[in-house]
């Protein structure tokens, strides 16, 4: 039993629904790197974007600047945090954890400079989009077959 009267509500069914996992897009022109006042956010020579927790002062500028909403202030460390593309794993010859564990193998990770590799082969053979292309962030995370409503 509830003390509150239950009102009958009619909920319109949406025409369609979708789920778009968002991670750091490892932007080539990354707004987060541009706004960091102390150089704590930086791009690695191989194209990842990382945060050096020793330098981060927790000002949150990068969290505001990221157009993909992928950054947060880590409540334990007090510094900016985000997906690192599992940098520690990929430099150990492993795949990112999300790629390795996805039960449907929906994710593919690879070296964009390897023109004959499986990643570039996939990009050539599929219709590919990036999120918010009009912002010219040049993401290195690509989506196959997402609706234009979520770009």
Nearest to 52 by CA among 95, 18, 81: 81
Residue 96 CB contacts under 8 Å (≥ 6 apart), including other chains: 85, 86, 89, 90, 107, 109
Q: Shortest distance, CB of residue 124 to ligand SF4, whole angstroms?
A: 24
Which residues are within 8 A (CB) of 26 and not within 5 positions of it... i.e. 6 or more apart?
47, 48, 49, 85, 139, 140, 141
For ligand SF4, which is the closer residue by CB, 63 or 99?
Answer: 63
Shortest distance, position 27 Cβ to ligand SF4, whole Å: 3
C-beta of 56 vs 86, nearer to ligand SF4: 56
Q: Which is nearer to ligand SF4, 60 or 115 (CB)?
A: 60
Residues lying near ligand SF4 in the complex (CB under 6 A) are found at 24-27, 30-32, 35-36, 38, 40-41, 49, 51, 56-62, 66, 68, 70-71, 79-80, 82, 137
Q: Kindly state the smallest distance separating residue 12's Cβ from ligand SF4, in Å.
A: 33
**81/73 Cα distance (integer angstroms):** 6
Rounded to the nearest whole angstrom, what is the least distance from the CB of residue 149 to ligand SF4 in the complex? 20
Residue 137 and residue 16: Cα distance in Å, rounded? 29
Nearer to ligand SF4, 108 or 135 (CB): 135
């Amino acid at each position: 039993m509830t003390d509150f009267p239950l009102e009958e509500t009619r909920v319109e069914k949406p025409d369609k629904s979708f789920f778009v996992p968002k991670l750091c897009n490892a932007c080539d022109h990354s707004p987060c790197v541009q706004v960091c006042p102390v150089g704590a956010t930086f791009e690695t020579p191989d194209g990842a974007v990382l945060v050096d927790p020793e330098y981060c002062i927790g000002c949150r500028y990068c969290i505001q600047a990221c157009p993909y909403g992928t950054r947060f202030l880590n409540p334990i460390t007090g510094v900016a945090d985000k997906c690192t593309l599992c940098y520690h794993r990929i430099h150990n010859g492993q795949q990112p954890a999300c790629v390795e564990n996805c039960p449907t193998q929906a994710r593919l990770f690879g070296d964009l400079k390897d023109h004959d590799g499986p990643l570039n082969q996939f990009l050539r053979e599929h219709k590919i989009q990036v999120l918010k292309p009009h912002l010219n962030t040049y993401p290195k995370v690509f989506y196959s077959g997402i609706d234009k409503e979520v770009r």
